Amino acid sequence: MGVLLNEVSLSYPGTGLVIDRLSTEIDDGEFVAVLGASGCGKSSLLNMIAGLLAPSSGWLEVPKDGAAFMFQDANLLPWLTASQNVDLALKLAGKPVQEREERVEELLNLVQLGHASDKKPHELSGGMRQRVALARALAQDRQVLLMDEPFAALDAITRDMLHEQLRSLWGQTGKTIIFVTHNVREAIRLSGRILVLSSHPGRILETRRITDDLRNNPTQAAALGDELTTILRKEQRKHELTDRITH
């Protein structure tokens, strides 16, 4: 089972409508990028899928075991090593010690950090900390993985490396990934489908399928990137104009 949203809306007191009648179906094992400018409700959408927020109207379905969440900040516990940070998710799930030890080793090797298992967060680079956070999210063993701009704070070279690793991990694990970003290039490079949200309130403006042929064709990828960037800039200007009028 994937994720199903039907006419989902969300309002905050004092802020008004944040997400407006959003409907989409995300298939099991699909990699979907949610693309939009700041303030369009991308993170709120993930929070509803994670069960952290209830929609104001409409309904949604997610797998019974819920979803794992990976944030922009790694949020590692600084007094624990990389392996202990990953182990914490397994410990909280009530897994036995021997199973936890084997699984932690497996996950750190999966994100190519087996050599850094005994290092604490301050001894790791930003990209390495995000890989530990990814291993910790995978340790929750949920079919759905929610990722909220997890690479936004990283330099371009590190981000490119993690893009390759994430695509590889997705292929190996078959997870359903919902990846929020405001980076057009990142959305095209990673996903099989892009949902473009309008600026406040968030509605689905456009849907684009991304094939490997398109992704690997620099001319086609650049043309789509320009098209999506134009849409986002137009939405952002519209939002800024509305803000000036209402305030």
Residues 36 and 59 in one domain: yes
Residues 137 and 166 in one domain: no
> What pLDDT, on a 0 to 100 scale, did the predictor assign at position 241?
57
Q: How far is residue 113's CA from residue 232's CA, in Å, rounded to a whole number?
A: 36
As to burial, measured by CB atoms within 10 angstroms (0-12 exposed, 13-18 middle, 19+ buried), residue 88 is middle
Q: Is 25 helix (H, G, I), strand (E, B) or coil?
A: strand
Which regions of the chain does DSSP assign to beta strands (E)?
Answer: 3-12, 16-26, 31-35, 57-61, 67-70, 144-148, 176-181, 193-197, 204-209
Q: Which domain holds residue 60?
A: 1-66+152-247
Q: Are 85 and 132 in contact (CB under 8 A)?
A: yes
> What pLDDT, on a 0 to 100 scale, did the predictor assign at position 243?
54
Q: 121, 141, 161: which is the final residue of a domain?
A: 141
Q: How far is residue 188's CA from residue 49's CA, in Å, rounded to a whole number?
A: 22
Q: Are 60 and 8 in contact (CB under 8 A)?
A: yes
Name residue 154's amino acid. Answer: L
Q: How far is residue 156's CA from residue 150's CA, in Å, rounded to a whole number?
A: 13
> What pLDDT, on a 0 to 100 scale, did the predictor assign at position 125?
92
Whose CA is closest to 227, among 240, 241, 214? 214
Mean pLDDT by groups of 10 residues along the chain of 247 residues: 91 85 95 88 92 93 91 90 94 89 92 92 92 92 92 87 89 93 93 92 92 94 94 78 53
Residues 97 and 10 in one domain: no
Q: List the CATH number of the domain containing 208.
A: 3.40.50.300
As to burial, measured by CB atoms within 10 angstroms (0-12 exposed, 13-18 middle, 19+ buried), residue 191 is buried
| Cut 0.95: pTM above it | no
The DSSP letter of residue 93 is T
Q: How far is residue 62's CA from residue 150's CA, in Å, rounded to a whole number?
A: 22
Residues 79 and 62 in one domain: no
> What pLDDT, on a 0 to 100 scale, did the predictor assign at position 82?
95
Place of tokens 């064709």: 217
> What pLDDT, on a 0 to 100 scale, did the predictor assign at position 67?
93
Residues 156 and 58 in one domain: yes
Q: 114, 141, 168: which is the final residue of a domain?
A: 141
Residues 62 and 157 in one domain: yes
Q: How far is residue 151's CA from residue 171's CA, in Å, rounded to a whole number?
A: 19
